[in-house]
Amino acid sequence: DARVTQTPRDKVTEMGQEVTMRCQPILGHNTVFWYRQTMMQGLELLAYFRNRAPLDDSGMPKDRFSAEMPDATLATLKIQPSEPRDSAVYFCASGLVIGSPDTQYFGPGTRLTVL
């Protein structure tokens, strides 16, 4: 049963610390998305990749957030330095685009708390 995995599941850190979240997409999928969920904003897209290349990261605060795909099996989202307003659940999703996009499958999320 293929699924997207995310680590860590929960992270509590102090303001100013670096946070790295990891995502393993479903094998064979060629698109990866990062979403953030907060009570105030709901679910919003931060960045997405196709064939490991970043296509759009306009949803991310550029000065502190960075997203990368070192290889096809790993996507990372890094926050440096972290701030209390970054507290949220971060979801990774993967999908397959052949011509047109297919369904996205979501990981369980990383719950980030910045004190």
> What are the tokens at 77?
């989202």
If one asks whether residue 95 binds other proteins (CB under 8 A), the answer comes out as: yes
How many residues belong to the site for other proteins (CB under 8 A)?
Answer: 25
The stretch among 14-22, 50-58, 64-72, 80-88 that binds other proteins (CB under 8 A) is 50-58
If one asks whether residue 24 binds other proteins (CB under 8 A), the answer comes out as: no
- Which residues have a Cβ under 8 Å from the Cβ of 63 and sit 6 or more positions away? none
The minimum distance between CB 109 and other proteins, in angstroms, equals: 5
Angle at 56 between CA 75 and CA 24, to 5 degrees: 15
Angle at 9 between CA 111 and CA 60, to 5 degrees: 50
Residues near other proteins (CB under 8 A)? 31, 33, 35, 42-45, 48, 50, 55-56, 91, 93, 95, 97, 100-109
